[in-house]
Structure 1
Amino acid sequence: MNDRLPAGFPAPLLETRTVGRLTVHAIQAGGQQLDGGAMFGVVPKTLWSRRLEADAKNRIPLGMRCLLIEHDDGLVLLDTGLGNKENAKFHDIYGVENRGDDDRTALEDGLRAAGFTADDVSLVINTHLHFDHSGGNSWRAPSGEVLPTFRRARYLVQAGELDYAEHTNERTAASYFPANWHPVVAAGQFDFVRGEQEVRSGVTVRPTPGHTPHHQSVIIRSGGETLCFLGDLIPTSHHLPLPWIMGYDVEPLVTLESKRALLAQALREEWLLVFEHDAHVGFGRLAHDGKAYHLVAAG
């Protein structure tokens, strides 16, 4: 248990699973608290509040779970949490707690708990470039300079996502912070893909648009087993019902179709799912009761 996460965030700092030959580590890179209404969109509070209790500010507890894959071609990290660049006012607004030991972040503590450091990571895959998924791409050094966190890694995102992040509007600007990717681009460490692509043996990025137009999920296959890192397509296990879609999604009807296709395949092929923002449930497998999807096994 990571005692630096607030009382509403009981998920352990590190959870380890195997997928065929691969070892994967889910790292709880901190917690945040966001408005429950925004997290569940058009779903009435009388329904979502049966699953998650809101605080006096109507906020619900959320995690920032990243996934570290021990791959033969080097460590692969999926998403990077919030990082260390935001100020106390920002942390208060979003209920953020991601402090680690000795001025490190919780993500760095998780890497260390798994037996590694940032310099051991060879590939960083961002599902998208919102601040709570790419904030740890870079870090603010004691000098004030902002530098790539993973000095020896390549970074990867859908090409359209970077363009979308660079051309924000009044609706999207609050989610995209250029300091999270500009230092990486300047260092020549960012690579860009278009569409579905196997980026390491058994590691495939799959476009799952809706939350953003170029959002991607990541599918890991090994030894006949499959794991899917969902990103913000299905941020928590409570978002499994098809119409339970975040108010933050810019194209919710596109999200609906992305969910429909992915969950049908996940059920059919018995995938293990990873929920990035669930404060309690890191992994789970699906069932369908004839009306809706739910977890048959969680942990």
Structure 2
Amino acid sequence: MKLYPINAGNLKLDGGAMFGVVPKVLWNRSNPADANNMIDIATRCLLIEDGNRLILIDNGMGDKQSDKFYSYYHPWGDYNLDASLKAAGFNRDDITDVFMTHLHFDHCGGSIQWNKDRTGYEPAFKNAHFWSNKDHWKWATEPNRRERASFLKENIMPMEESGQLKFTALPEDNLLKNSALGFDIFFADGHTDKQMIPLIKYKDKTIAFMADLLPTVGHLPLPYVMGYDTRPLLTLNEKENFLNIAAEQNFYLFLEHDAHHEIITVHNTENGVRLKGLHTCEEIFN
């Protein structure tokens, strides 16, 4: 098995929305805001090369939305999905599986692209299966008013229409062991219903792809929960339980949205789970 970080692009989001009820004077220390209160955000995806399978976990916002849409999110930097895949030695047609932690636009928008004459949409990965789960799919295709703006039909429905959509099994508790993708999956419901957190066994390590359960290093303190979360008190409990396990078992936490830190480890202290170490993908994957 080989792992590759795939940066699908950087953006900016409102710092207050990213930290919910936490005062700016606190979160601004770890995630400094610009004059418009916006903070740096990455869409760092993960590519798993495992035998004949090439699995891409999440794929960023994509490039099919309007200029007005992107103006809300202030893209910055030179990263994009195709360039990152090329740097790893691959292209979209090589991908066998696209695993989406959840269907918010910044995690799955790259799954679908315009067709050649821009009259409709088609899969951006023509040889891949798209993986979600039945409960989250229902949640996303029958969205509540709170999340409706994050579940874009043009990102979601073409996957089903293509015939390339598949669903993982759902566990009786919150952990699916040995999924169809070859890794374990932790299910979390606080951010959105049935978000999936992959746990990848790599050499002697466990790599946890944290998605929106832990967006950045600055979100490590338990009360630092995003305003975007639909059930923030549930996120609080899920994050506490997961971070305790991560500390005990020395997980390496792959941060999808932290533009400046790629991987961290945590440990238990008298004050709870705290940062243990900062790591790069090159250090951990090579």
TM-score (norm 2): 0.91
Residue in structure 1 matched with residue 284 of structure 2 by the alignment: none
Match of 2:253 among 263, 273, 281: 273
The gaps in structure 2 that reach 5 residues or longer are 280-286
Instruction: For 1:85, give the aligned amino acid.
Output: K
Does the 8 A contact of 1:23 with 1:69 survive in 2?
A: yes
> How many residue pairs are counted as aligned between the two chains?
273
Residue 24 (1) aligns with residue 7 (2): no
Q: Could you give the per-residue CA deviations for residues 227-272 of structure 1, whole angstroms, max 9, x where no partner exists?
A: 1001101111111111111000001111112111211111111111
Match of 2:29 among 40, 44, 50: 50
Does the 8 A contact of 2:59 with 2:81 survive in 1?
A: yes
Does the 8 A contact of 2:105 with 2:155 survive in 1?
A: yes
Separation in 1, partners of 2:76, 2:164: 28
Q: Could you give the per-residue CA deviations for residues 129-177 of structure 1, whole angstroms, max 9, x where no partner exists?
A: 0000000011113411311111111111121111111112321111110
- Cα 1:201–1:55, aligned 2, differ >3 Å: closer, same or farther? closer
Does the 8 A contact of 1:202 with 1:222 survive in 2?
A: no
- Cα 1:36–1:138, aligned 2, differ >3 Å: closer, same or farther? same
Residue 284 (1) aligns with residue 264 (2): yes
Match of 1:257 among 225, 228, 237: 237
Does the 8 A contact of 2:133 with 2:167 survive in 1?
A: yes
Q: Offset at 1:198?
A: 2.3
Does the 8 A contact of 1:73 with 1:200 survive in 2?
A: no
CA RMSD of aligned residues (A): 1.6
Separation in 2, partners of 1:287, 1:250: 28
Q: Offset at 1:97?
A: 4.0
Residue in structure 2 matched with residue 130 of structure 1 by the alignment: 104
Separation in 1, partners of 2:49, 2:5: 12
Match of 2:195 among 215, 233, 245: 215
Residue 241 (1) aligns with residue 215 (2): no
Does the 8 A contact of 2:111 with 2:124 survive in 1?
A: yes
Which 10-residue stretch deviates more, 33-42 or 289-298? 289-298
Residue 90 (1) aligns with residue 69 (2): yes
Residue in structure 1 matched with residue 273 of structure 2 by the alignment: 293
Separation in 1, partners of 2:217, 2:227: 16
Separation in 2, partners of 1:238, 1:110: 26
Separation in 2, partners of 1:197, 1:70: 20
Residue 37 (1) aligns with residue 11 (2): no
Separation in 1, partners of 2:137, 2:78: 28
Question: Residues 63-142 of structure 1: matches in 2 within 5 Å?
Answer: 63-97=42-76, 106-142=80-116
Separation in 1, partners of 2:31, 2:181: 38
Residue 185 (1) aligns with residue 165 (2): no
- Cα 1:98–1:79, aligned 2, differ >3 Å: closer, same or farther? farther
Q: Could you give the per-residue CA deviations for residues 88-119 of structure 1, whole angstroms, max 9, x where no partner exists?
A: 1111111124776xxxxx11111110000111
Instruction: For 1:242, give the aligned amino acid.
Output: L
Identity %: 38
- Cα 1:31–1:192, aligned 2, differ >3 Å: closer, same or farther? same
Q: Offset at 1:293?
A: 2.7
Instruction: For 1:26, give the aligned amino acid.
Output: P
Does the 8 A contact of 1:140 with 1:147 survive in 2?
A: yes
SS at match of 2:82: helix
Separation in 2, partners of 1:117, 1:175: 27
Does the 8 A contact of 1:245 with 1:252 survive in 2?
A: yes
Separation in 1, partners of 2:25, 2:226: 16
Instruction: For 2:270, give the aligned amino acid.
Output: G
The gaps in structure 1 that reach 5 residues or longer are 1-21, 101-105
Residue in structure 2 matched with residue 170 of structure 1 by the alignment: 145
Does the 8 A contact of 2:244 with 2:268 survive in 1?
A: no
